[in-house]
């Protein structure tokens, strides 16, 4: 397919569901750049880290829920093309909120399809996932001829719900509209794991775990490979897919080339996930773990967290509950080889990645290095537990009444320090040292990291030198 770069975009109205997300925002900006008459970002949120930039570019932000018929019809009214990106349950705690996953991914997609049919919209591009065909069994250089993974065999509700939704979308292809009798043409884009500056799902979670020292092992063998895709490459594929649904291209016949078709989209460089992340984590002064955990053992760990967090189901949406370390579906993603060819997308849509993995990772690293300079550094979770726990134990041994575990803590303290007077002296000296270090940290941070000066003060007051040494390192780098 060889079209002008703005074919089917100029003077057209587009709706991007999930338009305030990472990929959705990038897509909205690209559609504006290519001359779209109007771009609407339809999202359950009314703001995100990209919303101000989108508004400045002329994107119209519409708040609503894809499961609401009224919200969907209002957002899609008068649109020429819809990009359906909105989804729920891709990773973390969301994966275990089964009801909401099905509600958004299946029912929400049905709402979009119904509205497209009722309003006479001609083009719908659905963003799917590799998981519609992958469920833990090795796939090497797979293609679109692979059958859907059996619905009942999926280990997570996200993969299952996306598979159901994709099949609904593709079956809707070619259906005449209830409004004007014209056909709705649909296709599905199946992207690999997405990365790039501002990616807000996988990379922040990996950084948080690494920062706390909670990335203790790799999963699977070193020869396991998977695909990744840089955000700009995915946006390019989505735009080209929308062009592939045009039915008024001279010499192309009545049926659009992409109508009713799924496409795998990736950078075309399968790689071990941990090797892919190595330069990223190294640039932030974090290490890739050296120890490996077999897929079988990792699955046991993942199932434990799945059961534990399922018990906590009523509180899964609460911000105070941290995400699980690992879930079964995530074990398969990083521990079992599965990569695919984008040959079909190349031949039918003209897709070729325009950003190499090297350049994409360089841009991602640059973004995160700048972000880390604005963040408050902190030690590992073990350091927090040992230092804060040690201070509390010393306080208990020195002053608290002999109840609960205090007698045992006091006995251990006396074994090392011999008398209560020495225990109290040690406690007072530790508190004084932490206060002095905290004051110094605040004064130093006021010069080298003023936006986090208060955070450095309180963190150093709790952790003493274990916090201060990180500030001293930052000061050295600034100078």
Q: What is the pLDDT of residue 477?
A: 74
pLDDT digits (tens, 9 = 90+) for 22-53: 999 999 999 999 999 999 999 999 999 999 99
Q: What is the pLDDT of residue 417?
A: 86
Q: What is the pLDDT of residue 214?
A: 86
Q: What is the pLDDT of residue 216?
A: 84
Q: Model's pTM, two decimal places?
A: 0.91
Q: What is the pLDDT of residue 83?
A: 98
Cα first-last separation, the chain: 54
158: annotated active-site residue:
yes
Q: What is the pLDDT of residue 247?
A: 82
For the domain made up of 13-196+224-270+337-356, give the CATH fold: Rossmann fold (3.40.50)
Q: Which residues contact 447 (CB under 8 A, 6 or more apart)?
A: 475
Q: What is the pLDDT of residue 288?
A: 84
Low-confidence ranges of the chain (pLDDT < 70): 1-4, 249-253, 478-479
- 327: closest CA among 89, 128, 134, 87? 89
C-alpha span between 414 and 173 (Å, rounded) = 77
Q: What is the pLDDT of residue 180?
A: 76
Concatenate the DSSP letters of all residues of 35-74 into one string. Answer: TBSEEEEEESSS--TTHHHHHHHTPEEEE--TT-HHHHHH
* Annotated active-site residue in 126, 130, 148, 158: 158
User: CA-CA distances (angstroms) from residue 255 to 245, 258, 370?
Assistant: 8, 9, 48
Q: What is the pLDDT of residue 117?
A: 94
Question: Across-strand partners of 131?
Answer: none
What residues does each domain of the chain span? 13-196+224-270+337-356, 381-477
């Amino acid at each position: 397919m060889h079209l002008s770069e703005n074919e089917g975009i100029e003077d057209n109205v587009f709706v991007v569901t999930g338009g305030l997300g990472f990929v959705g925002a990038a897509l909205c900006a690209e559609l504006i750049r290519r001359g779209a008459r109007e771009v609407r970002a339809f999202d359950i949120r009314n703001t995100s880290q990209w919303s101000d930039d989108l508004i400045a570019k002329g994107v119209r932000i519409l708040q609503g829920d894809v499961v609401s018929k009224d919200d969907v019809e209002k957002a899609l009214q008068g649109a020429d093309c819809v990009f359906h990106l909105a989804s729920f349950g891709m990773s973390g705690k969301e994966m275990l909120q089964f009801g909401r996953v099905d509600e958004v991914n299946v029912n929400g997609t049905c709402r979009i399809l119904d509205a497209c049919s009722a309003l006479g919209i001609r083009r719908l591009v659905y963003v799917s996932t590799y998981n519609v065909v992958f469920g833990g069994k090795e796939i090497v250089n797979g293609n679109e001829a692979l059958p859907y993974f059996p619905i009942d065999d999926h280990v997570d509700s996200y993969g299952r719900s996306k598979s159901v939704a994709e099949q609904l979308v593709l079956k809707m292809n070619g259906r005449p509209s209830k409004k004007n009798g014209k056909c709705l043409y649909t296709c599905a884009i199946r992207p690999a794991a997405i990365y790039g500056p501002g990616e807000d799902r996988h990379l922040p979670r990996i950084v948080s775990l690494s920062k706390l020292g909670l990335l203790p092992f790799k999963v699977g063998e070193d020869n396991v490979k998977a695909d990744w895709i840089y955000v700009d490459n995915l946006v390019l594929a989505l735009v080209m897919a929308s062009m592939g649904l045009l039915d008024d291209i001279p010499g192309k016949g009545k049926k659009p080339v992409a109508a009713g078709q799924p496409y795998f989209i990736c950078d075309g460089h399968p790689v071990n996930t941990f090797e892919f992340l190595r330069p990223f984590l190294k640039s932030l002064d974090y290490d890739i773990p050296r120890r490996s955990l077999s897929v079988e053992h990792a699955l046991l760990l993942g199932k434990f967290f799945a059961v534990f967090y399922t018990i906590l189901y009523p509180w899964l949406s609460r911000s105070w509950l941290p995400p699980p370390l690992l879930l079964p579906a995530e074990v398969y993603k990083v521990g079992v080889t599965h990569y695919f060819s984008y040959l079909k997308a190349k031949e039918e849509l003209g897709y070729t990645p325009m950003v190499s993995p090297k350049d994409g990772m360089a841009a991602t690293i640059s973004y995160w290095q700048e972000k880390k300079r604005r963040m408050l550094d902190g030690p590992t979770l073990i350091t927090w537990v040992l230092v804060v726990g040690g201070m509390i134990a010393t306080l208990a041994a020195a002053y608290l009444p002999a109840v609960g575990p205090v007698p045992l803590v006091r006995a251990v303290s006396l074994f090392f320090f011999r008398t209560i007077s020495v225990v109290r002296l040690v406690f007072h000296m530790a508190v004084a040292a932490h206060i002095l270090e905290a004051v110094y940290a605040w004064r130093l941070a006021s010069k080298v990291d003023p936006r986090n000066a208060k955070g450095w003060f309180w963190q150093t007051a709790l952790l003493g030198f274990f916090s201060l040494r990180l500030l001293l390192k930052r000061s050295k780098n600034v100078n």
